[in-house]
Chain A
Amino acid sequence: MAYLLSATNIVKRYDKHTALNDVSINVPEGSIYGLLGPNGAGKTSMIRIINQITAPDSGEVFLGGEKLAPKHIEQIGYLPEERGLYKKMKVGEQALYLAQLKGMKEAEAKQKLREWFTKFEIGAWWDKKVEELSKGMAQKVQFIVTVLHQPRLLILDEPFSGFDPINVELIRNELLSMRKRGVTIVLSTHNMASVEELCDNITLINNAKAVLEGPVRELRHKYKAHTWEVEFTGNTDSFKSALQGKYDLVSLVEEANSNVAKVKIAADAISNDLLKTIIPACMVTGFSEVLPSMSEIFISAVQSNNLTSVAK
């Protein structure tokens, strides 16, 4: 697979504290890559190294196969977690300035900005000062400025914070359509639902180390508990007795017209056998495997990592 971005064996130390300890990430071109981890794990350090804001103590970063160099700045769009704008400057003027700093020509930047402003329905703000905008409005402007120069690599740190659900949807759709166009996106967020929904691959950093990595789909299968959810109608007692001795009933919720049970099977068991067992006892209306949420994977990976590092 072609990696647009590879960071290999990155080490970054501050004084006595190690922010990144031999972390590598490989981001396939045209994918959305989740960079996850608890606060202070080292995500921002990694992002800053990719943006050439700081340099690693050791390790190398490659973009499109080339060693990262100042000329790559124009191919990257970066939306930091802590982001702001000049309060006293007018919105349009400011967006133009930031776009030009990314190497765009003034006329081109102006035209593109007009397009984006219309698309995001903020055309009327062009001559407003930033201090007159709400937080959500300012976030929109920042997002536009990040993507305006059509970067190959987009690095977004908590892109959804400060947005209402409508605008979250707007940004989400924008990211998906950019992926379709081949843009590579690195997403750092604590919003695990959006990771499940958007990310193709993730790396989970904890205590300066990469503790978990891989495609989201595979990770969820890897960490599954072999639990199946069964929706059925009929007598719950006969359902229970059918399982007796063969399978573990994890939970059973009885409702007026339908019951939902969670059943754990052995790792090498076949789901069809479970179905064969229960079909005589009830009317199955739904059957699906329960996959762990990214949130659960995140928590368990971080906790087990913390335990082992304490044990050391």
Chain B
Amino acid sequence: MSKIGLIIKREYTTRVRKKSFIVMTLLTPILSSLVILIPTVLANSENQNHKVVVVDATHSFCGQLTNTSTVNYDYGYCNFKIDQVRKIFIDSSKVTVMYIPPSEQLAQIELYSKADPGDIVISAIQFQMNNIIERAKMKAENLDQSMIDKVKTSIGVKNVVNNEVANSTYNLALGFGCAILIYFFIFLYSVQVMRGVMEEKINRIVEVIISSVKPFQLMMGKVIGVGLVGLTQFVAWTVLAFCAYTFAAQYVQKQAVNPDNYKQEQTMKKGVPGQDGSMSSTTAMASPTARNQAMVSAFTSIDDNLRNTNWTLIIICFLFYFLCGYLLYSALFAAIGSAVDQETDTQQFMLPVTAPLILSYIVMINIIRDPHSTMAFWFSIIPLTSPISMMARIPFGVPVWQVALSMGLLIAGIFGTIWLAGRIYRVGLLMYGKKVTYKELGKWLFYK
């Protein structure tokens, strides 16, 4: 095996065999799906209804507000005096007293509580009050409900790009997701390269090694080895995601077609058991429960989008920008690692290297909102920012010449940073006990 191959093998195997790598690879998808799921589940299961005691001095709202998933109205004190009611509930932290003051043109209501009921409860009350008053006003102007319904409008947009129906929200999510992934991979693994270089330098094993191989081979071996670790992790995550998706798809389909589900439902409705066992599954699919229907339609829409995506393009571009972005930055991080003696000294050099990375992360929001702007163009062409910026644009469709230009410049950029890093690296490795300045780094470039 060639020497650089040996180095790659060592860098790869020592990292992949680590317990932390295995745990991270398995745990990260679980943790990240939990991060998404937990708030959703919590929001859905919010049964902690807040009790709102209504005191109405106008005597026209009693019983008008209807209970929601978050608010329970109590009309038991509707005609009481507000001071009385406030005294009763002065120590109840889960009760809010709502006071509607006497007024011809009601402009404000008052809430009294021991603990702030929070924005969700207040918005719910506000929304209902507005609706009730609006409706009352419309009635006063002789507008009836059917007319109101007629006036209400909701415009849908069918966005056809290149003769195909495009979903901007979905493209936005896809671009955002790919770009974020690249951002994190570059950061995570470049820092690992830097740590690895520092470990060798601080351990003092580096002089033994560079008496056997060229510093450049050592640097590239490390960069490539760590890159392969990143790729392995990515492939593992993709496989896990694909399994999870297939599993979810099967589950949803089962929910939709399962005749038992349907039977139960019908039984409950009609109170007659076993009558509809012969129903065909097509009909059954047409009328599942409302909840299932929502789930299935959401899933179908995601599924359609997934099917309509040009995955070959996305995957090729993703892998390209993922690997090239990593190569570009990890070489620079290797140079930083070689130039310093201790972790704390890395800060001064990290800033200028990470600045373009962080900048492209920040402007990404603007890029996915307006993927064809001048800013989006320049950010996706310049090598230091293009891995993230271009990836965010790809799902929206980018002219071929732009992608080609961006890729070409990125490859040129990689040669540039690797050359630069190699020059600094070979000198930095054997420099100890000196705090290095930029001026000195500049000189290192021209050492023989």
A97 vs B8: C-alpha distance when bound (angstroms): 11
A180 proximal to B (CB < 8 A)? no
List residues of chain B with CB within 8 A of the CB of A145: 208
Q: Interface stretch among A86-94, A117-125, A246-254, A261-269?
A: A86-94
List residues of chain A with CB within 8 A of the CB of B10: 97
A142 and B208 within 8 A (CB): yes
Residues 56-76 of chain A: 1 if any B CB is under 8 Å from the residue's CB, otherwise 0? 010000000000001001001
A143 vs B87: C-alpha distance when bound (angstroms): 87
Chain B residue with Cβ nearest A53: B210
Interface residues of B in 81-132 (CB under 8 A from A): none
Q: Interface stretch among A98-106, A168-176, A192-200, A204-212?
A: A98-106
B211 and A89 within 8 A (CB): no
CB distance from A48 to the nearest CB of B (A): 7
A78 proximal to B (CB < 8 A)? yes
B212 and A102 within 8 A (CB): yes
A88 vs B199: C-alpha distance when bound (angstroms): 11
* Count of A-B contacts judged by CB separation below 8 Å: 62
A53 and B430 within 8 A (CB): yes
Residues 206-220 of chain B: 1 if any A CB is under 8 Å from the residue's CB, otherwise 0? 011111111000000
B205 and A83 within 8 A (CB): yes
A88 vs B448: C-alpha distance when bound (angstroms): 34
List residues of chain B with CB within 8 A of the CB of A98: 208-209, 212
Chain A residue with Cβ nearest B205: A84
A57 in contact with B448 given A85-B203, A85-B205, A97-B10 (CB within 8 Å): yes
A274 proximal to B (CB < 8 A)? no
Chain B residue with Cβ nearest A145: B208
Q: Contact partner of A55 among B205, B210, B430, B448, CB < 8 A? A: B448
A15 proximal to B (CB < 8 A)? yes
B204 proximal to A (CB < 8 A)? yes
B448 and A101 within 8 A (CB): no
CB distance from B102 to the nearest CB of A (A): 77
List residues of chain B with CB within 8 A of the CB of A273: none
Question: Size of chain B's interface in residues, with CB distance under 8 A?
Answer: 24
A170 vs B448: C-alpha distance when bound (angstroms): 40
CB distance from A57 to the nearest CB of B (A): 6
A214 proximal to B (CB < 8 A)? no
B212 and A80 within 8 A (CB): no
List residues of chain A with CB within 8 A of the CB of B211: 51-53, 73, 76, 78, 80
A86 and B205 within 8 A (CB): yes
List residues of chain B with CB within 8 A of the CB of A255: none
List residues of chain A with CB within 8 A of the CB of B35: none
Chain B residue with Cβ nearest A101: B212
A78 vs B209: C-alpha distance when bound (angstroms): 10
Chain A residue with Cβ nearest B1: A100
B307 proximal to A (CB < 8 A)? no
A101 and B213 within 8 A (CB): yes
A51 vs B212: C-alpha distance when bound (angstroms): 9
Chain A residue with Cβ nearest B207: A80
B14 and A88 within 8 A (CB): yes
List residues of chain A with CB within 8 A of the CB of B199: 86
A143 vs B173: C-alpha distance when bound (angstroms): 57
A83 and B208 within 8 A (CB): yes
B443 proximal to A (CB < 8 A)? yes
Chain B residue with Cβ nearest A97: B10
B208 and A80 within 8 A (CB): yes
A83 and B443 within 8 A (CB): no
List residues of chain A with CB within 8 A of the CB of B14: 86, 88-89
B3 proximal to A (CB < 8 A)? yes
Chain A CB count within 10 A is highest, among B3, B211, B447, B448, for B211
B315 proximal to A (CB < 8 A)? no
Residues 186-210 of chain B: 1 if any A CB is under 8 Å from the residue's CB, otherwise 0? 0000000000000110011101111
A43 vs B213: C-alpha distance when bound (angstroms): 21
Chain A residue with Cβ nearest B202: A84
Q: Contact partner of A48 among B203, B205, B209, B430, CB < 8 A? A: B430
A82 proximal to B (CB < 8 A)? yes
Chain A CB count within 10 A is highest, among B200, B205, B443, for B205
CB distance from A308 to the nearest CB of B (A): 30
B295 proximal to A (CB < 8 A)? no
B204 and A80 within 8 A (CB): yes
List residues of chain B with CB within 8 A of the CB of A102: 212
B302 proximal to A (CB < 8 A)? no
Chain B residue with Cβ nearest A14: B447
List residues of chain A with CB within 8 A of the CB of B210: 53
A70 vs B448: C-alpha distance when bound (angstroms): 16
Q: Contact partner of B204 among A73, A82, A100, CB < 8 A? A: A82
B6 proximal to A (CB < 8 A)? yes
A84 vs B432: C-alpha distance when bound (angstroms): 14
A100 vs B212: C-alpha distance when bound (angstroms): 9
A54 vs B214: C-alpha distance when bound (angstroms): 10
B212 and A84 within 8 A (CB): no
CB distance from A220 to the nearest CB of B (A): 33
| Given A48-B430, A54-B430, 8 additional A-B pairs, CB 8 A | A76-B211, A78-B207, A78-B208, A83-B208, A86-B203, A98-B208, A101-B3, A142-B208
A-B contact pairs, 5 of them (CB 8 A): A80-B211, A84-B203, A86-B205, A88-B14, A100-B1
Closest 7 CB pairs of A and B: A84-B204, A84-B203, A101-B212, A80-B207, A78-B211, A82-B204, A84-B205
